Amino acid sequence: MMVSESGDLQADRSEPGRQAAPIAAERQSVMPRGGEAVAPSEALRVDGVSKSFGLVQALYRVSLSVDHGEVVALVGDNGAGKSTLIKVISGVIVPDEGQLYVNGERVVVRSPNDAAQCGIRTIHQDLALADNLDVVENLYLGRELFRGVGPLRRLDFAAMRQRTAAALLELGIGTISNIRTPMAQLSGGQRQTVAVARATLENCPILLFDEPTASLGLKEARHVIELVQRLRAQGTAILIITHNMRQVFEVADRIVVLHLGKVGAVLRPSSTTPEVVVRAIMGKAP
């Protein structure tokens, strides 16, 4: 597992049978919760996560899991705790209690960098993009491409520009005419597509989307949903927050409903209706 000697991110050594073994082998045998075996396909598990901000209990003992090749929609009313949960998983917020497991192995995620090392990438609702940099620089911020070795090592601007253009093309984005445009000059929807492109550029095994289509036009939103479906087909585990019930029923394999910081219901689109989901969002019984 991704263990940094600095101690930022460590597999939990207190659990029995936890050796430095390849993840694939670990997944078969890990038994992290009271002897309950983890399914080999489980990519992410959140277990009993709580977080309060002063008197506001944003999350209370929230548990959920996402398998490889599965899309889980996280829904709930405004203030239900959805973004807080995404921030906990992505290391932006440290929870008051609770654990995270990646591929069945317990991980301690205390920063976005820890999350990245666990293969978790996030598109936050409040997009973290650098306004003074252009589209290409934002896509590759912190993971620039280089060419050459030793003293001849240089930033590979041509490759970064070419891959940026290809990524935007794949997302069907025709509205950004120049990839050298500074972010500050882009519209809200254009910024969001850049954020989606950034998160999908690497083949990350776990992707978290906090309302990725909220400020997109119809065409762009469709492309993002198609992208989510393509990534799922490639085996990516995806947790997606959306208020759009049509999208929920179009892409989700499971729906987790948060109500006042707690998991109110877990539903399958194939065996429920939008009305039932909306009732659960409001905290009502089906």
Ligand X SMILES: Nc1ncnc2c1ncn2[C@@H]1O[C@H](COP(=O)(O)OP(=O)(O)OP(=O)(O)O)[C@@H](O)[C@H]1O
Query: Closest separation between CB of residue 90 and ligand X, Å?
Result: 13
Q: Nearer Cβ to ligand X, position 94 or 158?
A: 94
80 binds, among ligand X, Mg ion, none (CB under 5 to 8 A by kind): ligand X
The residues binding Mg ion (CB under 5 A) are: 83, 125
Query: Closest separation between CB of residue 124 and ligand X, Å?
Result: 10
Q: Nearer Cβ to ligand X, position 92 or 165?
A: 92
Q: Nearer Cβ to Mg ion, position 179 or 277?
A: 277
Query: Closest separation between CB of residue 215 and ligand X, Å?
Result: 13
Q: Nearer Cβ to ligand X, position 84 or 193?
A: 84
Own/partner pairs, 216-219, CB within 8 angstroms, 24+ separation = 216/189, 216/192, 217/175, 217/189, 219/172
68 close to 76: Cβ distance less than 8 angstroms? no
Query: Closest separation between CB of residue 166 and ligand X, Å?
Result: 32
Query: Closest separation between CB of residue 79 and ligand X, Å?
Result: 4
The residues binding ligand X (CB under 6 A) are: 53, 56, 58, 76, 78-84, 125
Q: Nearer Cβ to ligand X, position 74 or 135?
A: 74
User: What residue number has its CB nearest to Mg ion?
Assistant: 83
β-pairing verdict for 262-267 and 97-102? unpaired
